Structure 1
Amino acid sequence: MLQVNYIRENREKVLERLSVRNFKQPELVDEIIKIDEERRQAQTSLDSLSAIANSSAKQIGELMRNGKKEEADILKSETTANKEQIKNLSDVLAEAEDKLYHLIVQLPNLPHDSVPAGATPEENEVVLIHGEPAVLAENAVPHWELTAKYDIIDFELGTKIAGAGFPVYKGKGARLQRALINFFLDRAVEAGYREMQVPHLVNEASGFGTGQLPDKEGQMYHAGVDNLYLIPTAEVPVTNLYRDVILKEEELPVRNTAYTPCFRREAGSYGAHVRGLNRLHQFDKVELVQVVHPEKSYEVLEQMSSYVQTLLKELGLHYRVLSLCGGDMGFTSAKTYDMEVWSAAQQRWLEVSSVSNFETYQSNRLKLRFKGATGKTQLAHTLNGSALALPRIVASILENNQTDKGIKIPEVLVKYTGFEYID
């Protein structure tokens, strides 16, 4: 979340950047400043009265030690009203802090100055386009027909077991999934990331730390008896490894990767854009998470974007990179690049990765800090990116590589799959 001091000292800047997001409640900023002023006044008065109370306590102690009980009793009676004021001010302070918290968590992160203004995906900026669309035969079909033809993914069986959006991968379909997971993990480790295995459920503190709560509780599966949430992405548990941690500056950057299934209660809709693998409630993903020095975070964001692109190139996929406009970015992000691959059979772009810089938005919630050589402690910057999310990668591989012999497996995956074609 945003830091109160920054909001108070940079009101106009905060309002200007929120307008880039097309944020609908700018009045929250002035309300936060107002409540913060009340909180600060209460804190100042409380500190003053507490100092007086401490001084009186010392005087009373000295009077009692010197046998001046009557004088001590008089001073005690004078401090009674002071104690009542302290209690009242403590209540005022607690109430102001509670109000401030509930207001500030409603503010999204401020977009970086390079983020384009806009409210819809149509206003995102195309940064680059790589490659050319696959040229398919006239009888080419979308992936949901290919998965049925080759019996590699069963959507109806998944619906029987759990519900829509929970497919069953079979035979070569399951092996392709495993091949992609291993390929992505191996490449990440080669690039210097440390592989982690993390829980697939998290508590409220973890959800709050990375910004899923209280913003996205409706999108998360909730295990009510234990008050745990199924993770929507490995970003949540991996970033929370560093909650309430103070790192040494020389430990930065921290670079971790993890494979997990991901669970999302996305609202149901109909049509080809959500058909088959295009939108699922459970899917597999390899995630990258970095904790970095604030001065390096935008350099790292570009590096992470380039890294994801190398994976898409190795898979032989036609892709584009978008710089998301303010209104299309996630609640916690300061800047996001989306990578989309071209589905030649569906004739549309499919998002397969988001790479985001959160600056201090997550680390402020997490209390994730680092200490420099001078001993000064400050908030770190956090970043994450999908490298990659599998469903639409699988969809694109199936659709773009369909031939008369079957579906040709990208060359870099053959050593993982053990076969060159799905036939």
Structure 2
Amino acid sequence: MHDIRLIRDDPESFDRGLARRGLTPLSGRLVALDERRREVIGRLQAIQERRNAASKEVGQAKAQKDEARAAALIEEVAKLKLDAPAAEAEQKAIEQELEATLAEIPNIPLDEVPDGPDETANVERHRIGTPREIDAPKAHYDLGEALGLIDFEAASRMSGARFAVLKGQVARLERALAGFMLDLHTTEHGYTEIAPPLLVRDEAMFGTGQLPKFQEDLFSTRPEVQGTLPDGGIFTSPLGEEGKAYGRRLWLIPTAEVSLTNLVRDQIVSEDALPLRLTAATPSFRAEAGAAGRDTRGLIRQHQFTKVELVSVTTPEKSLEEHERMLACAEEVLKRLELPFRTMTLCTGDMGFASRKTYDIEVWLPAQKTYREISSCSVCGDFQARRMNARYRPAEAKGPRFVHTLNGSGVAVGRALVAVLENYQQPDGSIAVPAALQPYMGGLTTIGRA
């Protein structure tokens, strides 16, 4: 969320930032709304001040036995009481319009972010590792199905497209990847492991920027709604009346960023407690509404997938340094797994809604002969903090300030699974287990047919 005071003080800079995002200028509309809001607030204050003064004058007039003046003042106070609600309603309507407009405006990119309309303008930062030569590499879905360890048909029967059933050693491999990443981040990188809720309220999704703009990409549940059984019978949510206490709906998290970042919602933390570094391995749920026809086969773009998330909460002075640190932590996962990757700096047209600057890590996939995203690490400044009212109390300053938030995949477990299957495939169709994962696989070195 943007600060209307900063927009008012420097509208040209704000509009330049929007233009870099490919958006039209909005400062004029926002400042005009703010001026109307301030005018109404001034009018309300004047009404209240006059009411107070007139009420005192009534007493004075009565003490002086000036009944005519007292009656006129009483009539004036009554009229002012009627004027106030109308002005209050006008103020509320203007504030709602202003807040709704601000809520849908993305963050302003840092000056150092490259300009560009889409992913074609992203800038490569570096490459690590050299892709190994594989004769006629098979795609992960062909490998998994041939081994009898990935079943897309069974998943489709129960859930539809973009789901998968993992079996046996591939299911264990996914679990091993998550465990390996969590252990790395908690024991070597200083993150605290969290087991957060997977269902959150509207306010949490708003805080990190998923709502209101990206509702179509989310899954939600409505506990109070009845449903129809195949035999025509009616069922009510098992939560019953208790479910209604949660409001109209809860949202399934699209990433643990939502839960982890909202831990500081409506909080004032001490500067000594920063930076907070949090990590979690959770299922994530995405409707993929804007991805029709893309990656329809395999595990690349699923409605449900596992991801290890990294979140940092820090001071404004340390956030860019923390961004570089987070990137290094995510890259270390791929280095330990010995997977070739490259790191890209995203351009203004390819950045996420809440981001000021984003690095994407892309892992090499032999079957596609290209690099695919496996992690995004973003610094958001105080954009999310303003939406969540998340602040800290500086040691050497008066009054609280907004924290800065960062988030990154450390990394996407499902895509790491894809990368391991494809990069470690053997000529006979088996999969070699990376050395870093063997302790998590009970010493297993090769995955063969079930």
Q: What is the deviation of 1:20? A: 1.3
Instruction: Choose from 417, 420, 423 the match for 2:445.
Output: 420
Q: What is the alpha-carbon distance in structure 2 between the residues aligned to residue 344 and residue 62 of structure 1?
A: 90
SS where residue 281 of structure 2 aligns?
strand
Q: 2:254 aligns with which of 232, 237, 240?
A: 232
Residue 329 of structure 1 pairs with residue 351 of structure 2: yes
Which range moved further: 53-62 or 38-47?
A: 53-62
Contact map agreement 2:217 2:288 (CA 8 A) in 1: yes
CA distance in 1, matches of 2:346, 2:376: 10
Equivalent of 2:329 in 307, 313, 328: 307
Tell me, in whole angstroms, the C-alpha distance in 2 between the residues paired with 1:367 and 1:416.
40
Which residue does 1:142 correspond to in 2? Answer: 139
Cα pair distance change 1:77/1:254, threshold 3 Å: same
Q: How does 1:383-422 map to 2 (within 5 A)?
A: 383-404=406-427, 406-418=430-442, 419-422=444-447
**Shift in Å, 1:365:** 0.6
| Contact in 2 for aligned 1:128/1:320 (Cα 8 Å) | yes
Deviations 1:171-228 (A, max 9, x none): 0011001101111111111111111111111111111111100011001012134411
Q: Output the CA distance in 2 between the equivalents of 1:277 and 1:361.
A: 32
Note closer, same or farther for the CA distance 1:63–1:143 as it changes in structure 2 (3 Å cut).
same
Distance 2:144 2:256 in 1: 27
Q: Which amino acid aligns with 2:264?
A: Y
The answer on 1:107 being equivalent to 2:105 is: yes
SS at match of 2:349: helix
Compute the displacement of 1:139 (Å): 3.8
Contact 1:20 1:116 in 2 (8 A): no
Name which of 47, 50, 71 aligns with 1:49: 47
Residue 8 of structure 2 is aligned to residue 15 of structure 1: no
Q: Is the 8 A contact 1:21 1:325 kept in 2?
A: no
After superposition, residues 188-203 of structure 1 pair within 5 angstroms as 188-190=185-187, 191-203=189-201
Q: Which amino acid aligns with 1:421?
A: T
Following superposition, the deviation at residue 308 of structure 1 comes to: 0.6
Shift of 1:74: 4.1
The match for 2:232 is none
CA distance in 1, matches of 2:354, 2:285: 19
Equivalence for 2:76: 78
Q: CA deviation at 1:72?
A: 4.8
- TM-score normalised over the length of structure 1: 0.94
1:135-168 alpha-carbon deviations (Å, 9 max, x no partner) = 11x2431111110121221111111111111111
Deviations 1:43-92 (A, max 9, x none): 1221222223233345556777x696946544322222322332232122
Q: 2:392 aligns with which of 361, 365, 370?
A: 370
Question: CA offsets per residue over residues 298-340 of structure 1, 9 Å max, x none?
Answer: 1100110111111110010110111111111111111111000
Structure 2: runs of 5 or more not aligned: 226-247
- Cα distance in 2 for partners of 1:355, 1:205 equals 23
Q: Residues of 1 paired with 2:60 and 2:445: CA distance?
A: 90
Q: What secondary structure sits across from 1:135 in the alignment? A: coil
Equivalent position to 1:152, from 149, 153, 163: 149
Find the residue that maps to 2:322 and give its secondary structure: helix
Contact 1:157 1:168 in 2 (8 A): yes
Q: Is the 8 A contact 1:414 1:420 kept in 2?
A: yes
Deviations 1:79-136 (A, max 9, x none): 2232233223212211211111121112111011111111111111111111111211
Cα distance between partner residues in 2 of 1:13 and 1:370? 27
SS of 1:327's equivalent?
A: coil
Alignment check: 8 A CA contact 2:279 2:310 kept? yes
Helix, strand or coil: the match of 1:2? Answer: coil
Matches within 5 A, 1:188-227: 188-190=185-187, 191-224=189-222, 225=225, 226-227=248-249
- Name the aligned partner's letter for residue 345 of structure 2: S
Q: Hey, what's the Cα distance between the residues in 2 that align with 1:21 and 1:217?
A: 21
Question: Which whole-Å CA distance do the structure 1 matches of 2:320 and 2:431 have between them?
Answer: 39
SS in 2 for 1:178: helix
Contact 2:162 2:296 in 1 (8 A): no
Secondary structure class of the residue paired with 1:36: helix
- 69 and 379 in structure 1: CA distance in 2 versus 1, 3 angstrom threshold: farther
In structure 2, the CA distance between the partners of 1:47 and 1:170, relative to structure 1 (3 Å rule), is same
Q: One-letter code of the match for 1:13? A: S
**Residue number in structure 1 paired with 2:159:** 162
Paired AA for residue 7 in structure 2: I
Query: How many residues are paired up?
Result: 418
Tell me, yes or no, if the aligned pair for 2:54 and 2:76 is still in contact at 8 Å: no
SS in 2 for 1:280: coil
